[in-house]
């Protein structure tokens, strides 16, 4: 169970004229995500979706609020007394508090994250990208390749092991990011617009691949997307963020049974309701900025 309690994120910004300003990216978001569920976060650009996802992964600290995964707090506050510091050192051994918060590809709690820019390393081949993720998780050198290969093959990259990301198509790069995330066998996968940059047919194929993986593993998936159809087709639950600052505006349950049909009338009805919300927000945009 992922539990976000009252998450608010405030960024301080220094303007060009050196005056200080601030921006609330996420406002009081509370959300519970049950094990094995697929949940989409849908909302307009700039409403704090990526920020919220990084907070779930423990890659950014919230200004207010806490995230718990199976009851364990993600990203504890830094120690403020000598005694807390000693406790902290004992628990995390050699890691300094700062380093503990900064390992971008090494979140705790069995989470894997696919970033909006899919963040595969351009200087590593497809195979090296996956074995490197395993190395970060402490898998012994001799086992890495053996563990990486089935995920690369399942992602359709069996013939492209030695290619660099720049030699792969956009869809292949996204599959590589997915293979790398899955190879570490996480319990939770957080995905930031994983299929935004590919054509419709490839996107639909990737969505179905993802559902197959989900059926096989029962992994919990949280997915940020701009695409209402994608959110409804994939998810058990669709969370709509409001225009900035991002608050939870609505939560819709998608009840239709799997395997689903893309043109299910139930989905069309839900899509109409969600699109009407977005249209309402655009029509009333000026009221938000007051």
Q: How far is the CB of 217 from Mg ion (least distance, A)?
A: 25
CA distances in angstroms from 218 to 83, 212, 214, listed in the order given: 40, 10, 5
286 binds, options Mg ion, ligand ATP, none, Cβ within 5 to 8 A by partner type? none
Q: Produce one character per residue of 37-67: b if its CB has 16 or more CB atoms within 10 Å, e if not.
A: bbbbbbbbeebbbbbbbbbbbbbbebeebbb
Q: Which of 8, 50, 125, 207 binds Mg ion (CB under 5 A)?
A: 50
x-marked contacts with Mg ion along 100-119 as a string, rule CB under 5 A: ----------------x---
The tally of CA atoms less than 13 A away on the side-chain side of residue 220 is: 16
194 lines the binding site for ligand ATP (CB under 6 A): no
> Which residue in the block uniquely carries the two structure tokens 């069309």?
268
288 lines the binding site for ligand ATP (CB under 6 A): no
| Of 54 and 237, CB closest to ligand ATP | 54
Q: How far is the CB of 184 from ligand ATP (least distance, A)?
A: 24
Q: Which of 4, 7, 37, 51 binds ligand ATP (CB under 6 A)?
A: 51
Binding footprint of ligand ATP, residue count (CB under 6 A): 13
Q: How far is the CB of 50 from Mg ion (least distance, A)?
A: 3
27 lines the binding site for ligand ATP (CB under 6 A): no
23 lines the binding site for ligand ATP (CB under 6 A): yes
280 lines the binding site for ligand ATP (CB under 6 A): no
x-marked contacts with ligand ATP along 90-129 as a string, rule CB under 6 A: --------------------------x-------------
50 lines the binding site for ligand ATP (CB under 6 A): yes
Rounded CA Rg of the chain: 20
Binding site for ligand ATP (CB under 6 A): 11, 13, 23, 25, 45-51, 116, 244
Binding site for Mg ion (CB under 5 A): 50, 116
């Amino acid at each position: 169970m992922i539990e976000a309690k009252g998450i608010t994120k405030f960024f301080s910004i220094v303007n060009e004229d050196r005056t200080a300003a601030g921006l609330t990216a996420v406002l009081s978001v509370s959300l519970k995500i049950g094990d094995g569920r697929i949940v989409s976060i849908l909302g307009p650009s700039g409403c704090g979706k990526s920020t919220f996802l990084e907070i779930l992964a423990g890659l950014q600290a919230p200004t207010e609020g806490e995230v718990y995964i199976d009851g364990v707090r993600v990203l504890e506050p830094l120690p403020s007394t000598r005694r807390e510091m000693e406790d902290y050192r004992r628990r995390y051994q050699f890691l300094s508090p700062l380093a503990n918060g900064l390992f971008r590809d090494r979140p705790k709690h069995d989470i894997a994250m696919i970033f909006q820019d899919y963040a595969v390393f351009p200087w590593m081949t497809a195979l090296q990208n996956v074995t490197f993720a395993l190395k970060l998780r402490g898998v012994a050198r001799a086992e890495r390749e053996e563990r990486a290969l089935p995920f690369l093959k399942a992602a359709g990259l069996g013939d492209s092991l030695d290619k660099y990301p720049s030699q792969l198509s956009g869809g292949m790069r996204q599959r590589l990011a997915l293979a790398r995330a899955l190879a570490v066998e996480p319990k939770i996968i957080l995905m930031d617009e994983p299929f935004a940059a590919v054509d419709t047919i490839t996107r639909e194929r990737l969505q179905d691949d993802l559902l197959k993986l989900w059926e096989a593993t029962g992994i919990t998936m949280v997915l940020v997307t701009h695409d209402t159809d994608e959110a409804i087709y994939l998810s058990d639950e669709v969370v709509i963020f409001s225009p900035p600052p991002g608050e939870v505006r609505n939560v819709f349950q998608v009840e239709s049974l799997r395997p689903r049909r893309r043109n299910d009338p139930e989905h069309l009805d839900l899509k109409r309701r969600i699109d009407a919300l977005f249209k309402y927000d655009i029509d009333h945009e000026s009221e938000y900025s007051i």
